[in-house]
Amino acid sequence: MTIKRALISVSEKNGVIDFAKKLQALNIEIISTGGTQKVLTEAGIKTLSIDSVTGFPEILDGRVKTLHPKIHGGLLGKTELTSHLEMMDEHKIKPIDLICVNLYPFKETLMKENVTSSEIIENIDIGGPSMLRSGSKNFERVTVVVDSTDYDSVIDEIKKNGNTTLKLRKKLAAKAFRHTASYDATIADYLTKEAQEETIETLTLSYELKQTLRYGENNHQKAQFYRSNFLTNYSLVNSDQRHGKELSFNNIRDADACLKILREYQEPTAVAVKHMNPCGIGSGKDINEAFQKAYEGDPISIFGGILALNQEVDLELAEKLSKLFLEIIIAPKFSKDAFSLLSQKKNLRLLELQMTDNSIETELEYQSVLGGILVQEIDSIKEDETSWKVVTKRQPSEEELHALRFAYRAVKHVKSNGIVIANSQQTVGIGAGQMNRVGSVQIALNQAKDKLEGAVLASDAFFPMADSLEILGENGIRAVIQPGGSIKDQESIDMANKYGMTMIFTGVRHFKH
């Protein structure tokens, strides 16, 4: 069976003239909706108007154009069934064998500045998805084109056989259903937010393929990277990779962890990450000093790591960075000479990122478990220092308080059990991902060694026992910040007092499992 009739109804009209011309040259009759018909007619392509087929005008400002049995019957009718053919005959419904439809730009409208809600609602396409669904259900006969990148392969197949192959029609139908599902997911997300609903009975997500990755966590695992429909500040998805080979799966996760930490700091700051944990965070009066602090915090672990900085990298800094082995450097900008120096390193990736506004809004994060998915708000709670309680006899000095704030912002991003030892501008010891807290404390102390003078300690969750405090006291740690909440808190407080330490309970836990 050959394709005899096509319907074209597109909002995004790029490439459609060429496609329609080729269909016309293949003797395919074309029906089209108002705006599309205008464009095609102007290009000298003969088309039938929708109303001449339906016998009904386009009404309600375009809300009803193709929603008619003459169209949907033409798409859904099974021409191999005599009963269908008889019914189509009786109601003067002619088969439509190909549809080319793309939808009202809902997402693009949503992202426009100063857009009104009525403009958003009017950009919910109803007739387009209906046609896509009707045609796709009947993929045995109907070719459904929703993506202009498929125009050529469709034309090629029709040229060869007068029709597309069943294989291609099936592929295109699946694509069309993915397209309408994603389109609806975006609308559902918008309306859910508008209706201020929090717990929804069905999770519908819409992400677009950004790139196929060479492999996943290991080279026998296939992997892809999908982007959200909406741009997020500090997101790797919006980065401009200016140099180096493609990011790997592990690079992306590490770089994301790095950026989530960087987002916590307004002052010039550098963050180095290894295996999703920070290994050095430094702040300073300028970005050079910040990097120096981050580097000196742990000059060993930064090797092979990922570094993100929240200010432009200049030549002076680039010279220091070029001496290190780093996988990725992320910054809002690289000066011209910094870029030419760093881009000489073949294995280094350089990424420029939009990181202007570091306000952390309530975002959701997803984690898959076997057979399910967990959704939670990201840990973006604003620290309310007025609810912090000094539980020891000694109050923290201004300097200690400054360091405690710095350390507590960092420990939130360390895998539990998380321990950070820091001064007011630099992490000097990080204990991460241990199965007991005292183990993390020991790792952090071990790493901090000669930098313990005046250092403070932050813990992501309470100390279950006084043993950690005893070790800290013996090692000269003078100030501690932790959520509190253990039944043995009093023992830890007594131990802190014994060593003349000061300790703050924040009341807010920051587990990161």
Ligand X SMILES: NC(=O)c1ncn([C@@H]2O[C@H](COP(=O)(O)O)[C@@H](O)[C@H]2O)c1NC=O
Please give the residue ranges that form the binding site for ligand X (CB under 6 A). Answer: 9-11, 33-36, 62-67, 101-104, 125-128
Question: Which residue's structure tokens are 């050959």?
Answer: 2
With respect to ligand X, which residue has the nearer C-beta, 178 or 488? 178
With respect to ligand X, which residue has the nearer C-beta, 11 or 228? 11
How far apart are the C-alpha atoms of 133 and 151, rounded to whole Å?
19
Least distance to ligand X, CB of residue 231, Å:
24
- The amino acid occupying position 64 is V
How far apart are the C-alpha atoms of 211 and 219, rounded to whole Å?
16
Least distance to ligand X, CB of residue 377, Å:
35
What sign does the CA torsion over 469, 471, 474, 480 have?
negative
With respect to ligand X, which residue has the nearer C-beta, 104 or 177? 104
With respect to ligand X, which residue has the nearer C-beta, 145 or 391? 145
Q: Is 426 exposed, middle or buried (0-12, 13-18, 19+ CB in 10 A)?
A: buried
With respect to ligand X, which residue has the nearer C-beta, 67 or 185? 67
Least distance to ligand X, CB of residue 33, Å:
3
Q: Which helix (H) or strand (E) holds 473?
A: helix 467-474
From 240, 242, 213, 239, select the one nearest 225 (Cα to Cα).
213
Which listed residue (22, 137, 175, 243) is catalytic?
137
Residues 509 and 486: beta-carbon distance below 8 Å: no
How far apart are the C-alpha atoms of 462 and 485, rounded to whole Å?
6
What sign does the CA torsion over 180, 182, 185, 190 have?
negative
Backbone angles phi, psi at 396, to 5 degrees: -70, 145
Question: Which residue's structure tokens are 């108002």?
Answer: 34
Q: Strand, coil or helix: what is 288?
A: helix
With respect to ligand X, which residue has the nearer C-beta, 63 or 320? 63
Q: List, as own/partner pairs, every contact residues 333-338 make where C-beta atoms lie below 8 angstroms and the sequence separation is at least 24, other chains included.
A: 334/242, 338/313, 338/314
Least distance to ligand X, CB of residue 8, Å:
8
Distance of alpha carbon 112 from its chain centroid, rounded? 19
How far apart are the C-alpha atoms of 241 and 328, rounded to whole Å?
10
Least distance to ligand X, CB of residue 163, Å:
24
Q: Please provide the size of the chain in residues.
A: 513
Verify whether residue 336 is a known catalytic residue. no
Least distance to ligand X, CB of residue 26, Å:
22
How far apart are the C-alpha atoms of 88 and 359, rounded to whole Å?
59
With respect to ligand X, which residue has the nearer C-beta, 96 or 273? 96
- Largest distance between two CA atoms of the chain: 96
With respect to ligand X, which residue has the nearer C-beta, 132 or 461? 132
Least distance to ligand X, CB of residue 10, Å:
6
Least distance to ligand X, CB of residue 61, Å:
9
Residues 328 and 247: beta-carbon distance below 8 Å: yes
Which listed residue (175, 210, 275, 402) is catalytic?
275
Least distance to ligand X, CB of residue 180, Å:
10
How far apart are the C-alpha atoms of 452 and 446, rounded to whole Å?
10
From 447, 446, 440, select the one nearest 417 (Cα to Cα).
440
With respect to ligand X, which residue has the nearer C-beta, 64 or 471? 64
How far apart are the C-alpha atoms of 417 and 436, rounded to whole Å?
7
Structure tokens at 299: 């000059």
Verify whether residue 137 is a known catalytic residue. yes
Q: Which positions are annotated as active-site residues? A: 137, 275
